[in-house]
Amino acid sequence: MKYMKLGSKPDVFQTEGNNIRFVATELATDIVITVGDVKFYLHKFPLLSKGSRLQTLVASTNEESNDEIDISDIPGGPAAFEICAKFCYGMIVTLNAYNVLAARCAAEYLEMFETIDKGNLIYKIDVFLSSSIFRTWKDSIIVLQTTKSLLPWSENLKVINHCVDSIASKASIDPSEVEWSYTYNRRKLPSENGLDSHWNGVRKQQMVPRDWWVEDLCDLEMCLYKRVILAIKAKGRISSEVIGEALRAYAHRRLFSSLDSAVSNGLDCTRHCAALETIICLLPSEEGSVPCSFLLKLLRAACLLGSDEAYRDNLTKRIGAKLDEALVSDLLIPANSDDNAMYNVDMISTMLEEYMARHCDDDTAKLQEDDQEAMDGDNLANESISSKLAIAKLVDGYLAEIAKDPNLPLSKFIALAEMVPPVCRPVHDRLYRAIDMYLKEHPGLSKGEKKRLCGLMDCKKLSPEASMHAVQNERLPLRVVVQVLFFEQVRTSASAATAAAGGDVAAGGDIPARSLLPREDGNSYGSSRSAATTTTEDDQWACGVPTSSDVNSFRSMSLANKNGGCSGRSSGDTGSNKNGGGGSEAKKPPSAKGSTGLMPKKILSKLWSGKASSGENSSSDTSESPGSVNLEETRSTPSRNTRHSVS
């Protein structure tokens, strides 16, 4: 820190009590100057020789035969006046960044100009400011902090402008040219500890980060901070990313750290509102200049503080443009106080709409194309596709969190889930988890509501682990469990068939898994998205409502295949190896007598067409997606009770 010493005489100012200051000399004092609650007993001659205002005041008091003058309105108060008085007496006084501005304003008040005396206090302070203070990074910040208590004097004297310009100029220089201590709390450089390393006698230069100035400016009040940031922007030499980092650091220091406690305790949040709105206005407009997580924190603060809707809309649009960068925890924005729900789902839906409008119209079509070669050659396309997959993962994670809210309407849950294009969800594990969580927290759903909810999920897109969980999940409708079991059986059978027919596959005879599914008609293979069941299908798949033993047999078979593969083929392989004839036995197709890769036709027919015998419309039952099955089928009590007992 820079400082300047003035005067040469010893300091003989003394204190009596808390509010009396006097000069200890042989000469009796002849004037009393009152500053606030402090009285200064001084001599007229040294004071009048330096300040014209005191000359005028003393002249007026002589006419009234009064030796006491009140200048309680002097900027800087008693401390600043004492510096000016000591200068008049020629006593030693030290000026630094903490007191120089107060002394300068007080000298201006006392009119201590060069016209009164050469080398007067105003001149000396101005030289000190321009030659030392404004050339120093830390001192400029300190002086700028002191200007708030000295308004409007500091503004009229242009000290604020000088400080702001000095700080902005230093923050805008190339980091390689920064030579001073560039942060208050930084670790010492190796050279400062005497541990500087050398290579061939050449000192290694310490790298200064681009945002070296960010933390230091967090000490400024918002009004001053805003002026500095605007000045830095006007210089045009600092990147928008560094500006964004500066605003993020300031928000964490001055806004987020005390916001929750202030709101919860019902304190006046006017200062927080002003800080928030100023930060939002200062945000750079360039893409990628501000992290999405920071924008979401600002939006959460805006909701807590009840900021103007224009600020929230601005943040919502900016977040929507880069929503794929967000985290689930950042999206958990509390709902309005007049809403029974825990989270503001509507706001997240607006963000998702903004993202889809900007990114997903063309990219979804790219995802649906099978031209993998073209996609591999386009890095931008790959990045875009990755962002869509990230959006699906983010939304499914968010759904799992908001599903815990007992007051969340099913319509909002479904609407948000359906906003993600199906092609962006190659795997439905996370969506299944969210659905299961909603079922757990909302046990009072009707059968129709469960059908709508489970209709979001495609059973074919569940991983083996998720399928295993779904098979044992009592909260899922029975029809959904049956479909999960079926597709898991198809997957296991297809894998076994492919392994057994390895030679045929190598020759080009691949066996697709969907060929194992029941046909819709004679021309194409069906899935659970089958059309109306025909009489031919009813004849092919024997009718009958599945019993609890059928379901348990089906489930046990699927789990057995999952855990140990086809037991019949395994034992056959073992036997053939012992007898030395394993080669021919290993090539048996999974439909061989000893294989359990495919489910028994009788059980499958009952499970697949159980609705036909229950008297319900099989057309509506089988025209839905694999997850969108009719949940209103007839369920026997033993079947529901045995869904825990999975072997």
pLDDT of residue 238: 93
Model confidence over 185-199: pLDDT tens digits? 444 445 544 444 554
Contact 299, 317 (CB under 8 A): no
Judged by phi (left if over 0) then psi (alpha if -120 to 50, else beta), residue 265 lies in alpha
Instruction: Give the residues across from 95 on adjacent strands.
Output: 4
Contact 150, 101 (CB under 8 A): yes
Instruction: Tell me: pLDDT of 244 over 80.
Output: yes
Model confidence over 477-512: pLDDT tens digits? 888 999 888 888 888 888 888 777 665 544 444 444
pLDDT of residue 624: 36
**Rounded CA separation 259/254 (Å):** 9
Instruction: Tell me: pLDDT of 125 over 90.
Output: yes
Contact 405, 441 (CB under 8 A): yes
Is 0.85 surpassed by the pTM of this model?
no
Average pLDDT of the residues of the chain: 76
pLDDT of residue 491: 82
To the nearest whole percent, how much of the chain has pLDDT over 70?
68
- Residue at 493: amino acid letter: S
Instruction: Tell me: pLDDT of 592 over 70.
Output: no
- CB neighbour list of residue 408: distance below 8 Å, 6 or more residues apart: 341, 342, 343, 345, 402, 438
Better-scored residue on pLDDT, 180 or 438: 438
- Both tokens of 447, joined, read 């059968």
Contact 586, 573 (CB under 8 A): yes
Instruction: Tell me: pLDDT of 268 over 60.
Output: yes
**Rounded CA separation 593/216 (Å):** 79
pLDDT of residue 205: 55
**Rounded CA separation 101/80 (Å):** 9
To the nearest whole percent, how much of the chain has pLDDT over 90?
45
pLDDT of residue 505: 45
Instruction: Tell me: pLDDT of 82 over 70.
Output: yes
- Residue at 421: amino acid letter: P
Mean pLDDT of 317-341: 87
Contact 355, 319 (CB under 8 A): no
pLDDT of residue 412: 93
Which residue, 544, 520, 547, 546, is CA-closest to 534? Answer: 520
Q: Kindly indicate the confidence band of residue 584, based on its pLDDT and cuts at 50, 70 and 90.
A: very low
Instruction: Tell me: pLDDT of 574 over 80.
Output: no
What own/partner pairs with CB < 8 Å and gap ≥ 24 does 242-247 have?
A: 242/210, 242/211, 242/214, 243/282, 243/284, 243/289, 244/283, 244/284, 244/289, 244/290, 244/291, 244/294, 245/211, 245/214, 246/211, 246/213, 246/214, 246/217, 247/279, 247/282, 247/283, 247/290, 247/294
Residue whose tokens read 């000295």? 150
**Rounded CA separation 289/560 (Å):** 54
- Both tokens of 558, joined, read 């699927």
Instruction: Tell me: pLDDT of 74 over 90.
Output: yes
Q: Kindly indicate the confidence band of residue 640, based on its pLDDT and cuts at 50, 70 and 90.
A: very low
Query: Looking at 4-18, 329-343, 345-359, 585-599, which range is the least confident one?
Result: 585-599
Question: What is the β-pairing status of strands 202-203 and 31-35?
Answer: unpaired
pLDDT of residue 208: 81
pLDDT of residue 319: 94
Which residue, 154, 178, 49, is CA-closest to 106? Answer: 154
Contact 365, 398 (CB under 8 A): no
- CB neighbour list of residue 365: distance below 8 Å, 6 or more residues apart: none
Instruction: Tell me: pLDDT of 246 over 50.
Output: yes
Can you tell me whether residue 99 is helix, strand or coil?
coil
Model confidence over 504-563: pLDDT tens digits? 544 444 444 443 343 334 333 333 333 333 333 333 333 333 444 545 555 555 555 545
Q: For residue 57, how many C-alpha atoms fall within 13 Å in the half-sphere facing its CB?
A: 19
pLDDT of residue 588: 40
Contact 493, 598 (CB under 8 A): yes
Task: Describe the crossing of helices 222-235 and 270-282 by its angle, rounded to 10 degrees.
Answer: 0
Mean pLDDT of 427-449: 93
**Rounded CA separation 15/496 (Å):** 99
Q: What is the 3-state secondary structure (H, E, C) of 162-182?
A: HHHHHHHHHHCCCHHHCCCCC
Instruction: Tell me: pLDDT of 159 over 70.
Output: yes
Q: How many angstroms separate the Cα of 577 from the Cα of each of 268, 332, 571, 580?
A: 83, 59, 10, 5
Instruction: Tell me: pLDDT of 623 over 70.
Output: no
**Rounded CA separation 243/255 (Å):** 17
Instruction: Give the residues across from 199 on adjacent strands.
Output: 202
Mean pLDDT of 456-481: 90
Entry field: residues in the chain: 647
> DSSP labels for 407-462?
T--HHHHHHHHHTS-GGG-S--HHHHHHHHHHHHH-TT--HHHHHHHHTT--GGG-
pLDDT of residue 534: 34
Q: How many angstroms separate the Cα of 533 from the Cα of each of 362, 480, 525?
A: 37, 18, 13
Structure letter (DSSP) for residue 290: S
pLDDT of residue 60: 82
Domain boundaries defined on the chain: 3-135
pLDDT of residue 508: 46
Model confidence over 311-321: pLDDT tens digits? 999 999 999 99
Instruction: Tell me: pLDDT of 106 over 90.
Output: yes
- Both tokens of 539, joined, read 């004849």
Instruction: Tell me: pLDDT of 104 over 70.
Output: yes
Which residue, 260, 405, 271, is CA-closest to 344? Answer: 405
Model confidence over 385-423: pLDDT tens digits? 788 889 999 999 999 999 999 999 999 999 999 999 888
Better-scored residue on pLDDT, 105 or 206: 105
Instruction: Tell me: pLDDT of 170 over 60.
Output: yes
Nearest 5°: CA angle at 522, between 518 and 525?
40
Q: Kindly indicate the confidence band of residue 224, based on its pLDDT and cuts at 50, 70 and 90.
A: very high
Can you tell me whether residue 42 is helix, strand or coil?
strand
pLDDT of residue 575: 38
CATH number of 3-135: 3.30.710.10
Q: For residue 280, how many C-alpha atoms fall within 13 Å in the half-sphere facing its CB?
A: 27
For the chain, the distance separating the N- and C-terminal CA atoms, rounded to the nearest angstrom, is 78
> Is the peptide bond between 409 and the residue preceding it cis, with omega within 30 degrees of 0?
no
Q: How many other CB atoms are found less than 10 A from the CB of residue 239?
A: 13
pLDDT of residue 590: 39
